Amino acid sequence: MNEELTHALAALPHGPEFRFLDRLLTLEPGRSGSGEFTLRGDEVFLRGHFPGEPLLPGVLLLEAAAQLAGVVAQSDPAQPPLPGLKLTAVRGAKITGTAKPGETVVLEAQVIGRMGSLISARATARVGEFTVLQCEVTLAGTAA
pLDDT of 33 reads 98
DSSP 117: T
Q: Find the angle CA(27)-CA(31)-CA(37) to the nearest 5 degrees.
A: 45
pTM: 0.95
% the chain with pLDDT above 70: 98
> What is the band of 42 on the pLDDT scale with cuts at 50, 70, 90?
very high
The fold for domain 3-140 equals Thiol Ester Dehydrase; Chain A (3.10.129)
Q: Residue 104 pLDDT more than 70?
A: yes
CA distances from 108 to 22, 27, 49, 80, 134 (A): 13, 10, 25, 22, 10
Q: Which residues are catalytic?
A: 49
